[in-house]
Amino acid sequence: MSESVALEVFRFLPDDETEPRFETYEISYQDDWVVLDALNHVKAEVDPTLSFRWSCRMGVCGSCGMMVNGEPKLTCEAFVRDYDSDTIKIEPLTHFPVIRDLVINMEDFMTKLPTVTPWVIPKEEKSLDEGEYLQTPAEVAHYKRFSMCINCMLCYSACPVYGLDSTFTGPAALALGQRYNLDSRDGGQQERADVLTSHDGIWECTYIGECTQVCPKDVDPAGAIQMLKLSYAIDWAKSVVMPWGRR
């Protein structure tokens, strides 16, 4: 069963044009199509010059984030049939510079990612010969949610703080810091403190909470950041009241 829809797509071709424009593609679509299928149809049959990122088409690689009718979405999870309007507006993720068409520059995130120390700093050293670190299912559960981030950047698009000030470390990076802080094998909470508690870190967050709303993997970065605020506030209080307690 085939219906039709108009895709109003943001185009920006910096080699030839200085200003972006919108191009409208009228297409027929099938009932089980996602917006990504529609874009691929345009690229294959109508306009091969349309550029966008995509890969897994099953919501796990994080490549295909775009603004669909003003909301940041993974286009591989946004079904065309769920949009009531005759026109679907597709734009690159907001708060990022546009390289071309629907492709954004995400180098800012790639630079920030290593700064939150996103690797295990072992609480106790253990050689491989001694086997695995024991970690109960409950201990895994404590950080599991925050480990589900696919780095799709929808949260950065939803966050007005990041939109107003791109020096903000941002939801995904901060949530990843918390993932490691909560991992029972990790003892690096102090190592991460400088970056996480810097003025670009957790304290720049004003808990608008939109990041959690748009996250396609239910990571709850807003929750991670508020937890970090409490943890580091307690750490700070302890350091004032019991300065000898520091490692």
Partner 1 sequence: MSVGVISKVYPMRSHTVSAEGGAAAVISPTDSLDDHAYDTISGSDWLADQDAVEALVSEAPREMLQLEHWGCPWSREPGGEVAVRPFGGMKAERTWFAADKTGFHLLHTLFQTSLQYDAIARYDEWFVTSLIVDDGKCQGVTAIEVATGNLQAIGAKAVILCTGGGGRIYPFTTNANIKTGDGMALAYRAGVPLKDMEFVQYHPTGLPGTGILITEAARGEGGILVNNEGRRYLQDYDLGKPLDLDDPEHPQKRTMELGPRDRLSQAFIHEREAGRTFQGPTGDYVNLDIRHLGEKLIDRKIPMVRELAVRYVGIDPVIEPIPVRTVVHYMMGGISTDVMGATELPGLYAAGECACVSVNGANRLGSNSLTEILVFGARAAASAVMHAADSPDPSDALLESSVRDEEHRIRSGWAGSNGDGETVAGIRTDLQETLEEGAGIFRNEQALRETSATIADLKQRYKRLSLADTSKTFNTELIAALELGAMIDVGEAVAHSALARTESRGSHQRLDHPDRDDVGFLKHSLAYQSDGDPTIGYQDVTITRWPPGERVYGDV
Partner 2 sequence: MATQYLRPLPRSWWLRKANYFLFMLRELTSLAVLAYAIFLIVLLWQAADDATFSALFETLHQPWSIAVHLVILTLALIHTGTWIALTPKVVVLWQDDERVDPDLVAGLNGVAWLVVSGLVLWLVLS
153 binds, among partner 2, partner 1, none (CB under 5 to 8 A by kind): none
Q: Does 89 bind partner 2 (CB under 8 A)?
A: no
Q: Is 140 in the site for partner 2 (CB under 8 A)?
A: yes
Say how far apart CA 164 and CA 154 lie, in whole Å: 16
Site string for partner 2, 7-36 (x = CB under 8 A): -----x-xx--x-x----------------
Residues near 12 by beta carbon (within 8 Å), at least 6 away in sequence: 20, 21, 92, 98, 100, 101
Contact status: 3 vs partner 1 (CB under 8 A): no
Q: Does 138 bind partner 2 (CB under 8 A)?
A: yes
Report, in Å, the least distance between residue 178 CB and partner 2.
11
Piece in contact with partner 1 (CB under 8 A), picked from 42-50, 155-163, 225-233, 234-242: 42-50
CB of 117 within 8 A of CB of 177?
Answer: yes
Give yes or no for a contact between 176 and 148, defined as CB atoms under 8 angstroms apart: no
Is residue 223 part of the contact set for partner 2 (CB under 8 A)? yes
Q: In angstroms, what is the minimal distance from the CB of 222 to partner 1?
A: 21
Which does residue 98 bind out of partner 2, partner 1, none, counting CB within 5 to 8 angstroms by kind? partner 2
232 binds partner 1 (CB under 8 A): no
Nearer to partner 1, 176 or 214 (CB): 176
Select from 101, 80, 81 the least CA-distant residue to 92: 101
The yes or no reply on residue 168 touching partner 1 (CB under 8 A) is: no
* Closer residue to partner 2 in complex, CB, 5/214: 214
Binding site for partner 1 (CB under 8 A): 13-16, 32, 43-45, 47-49, 51-63, 77, 99-101, 103, 105-106, 110, 113-114, 117-120, 122, 126, 128, 131-137, 139-140, 143-144, 147-148, 150-151, 176, 180, 183, 185-186
Catalog residues that contact partner 2 under the rule CB under 8 A: 12, 14-15, 18, 20, 70, 94-95, 97-100, 105, 136-138, 140-142, 160, 163-164, 206-210, 213, 220, 222-223, 226-227, 229-230
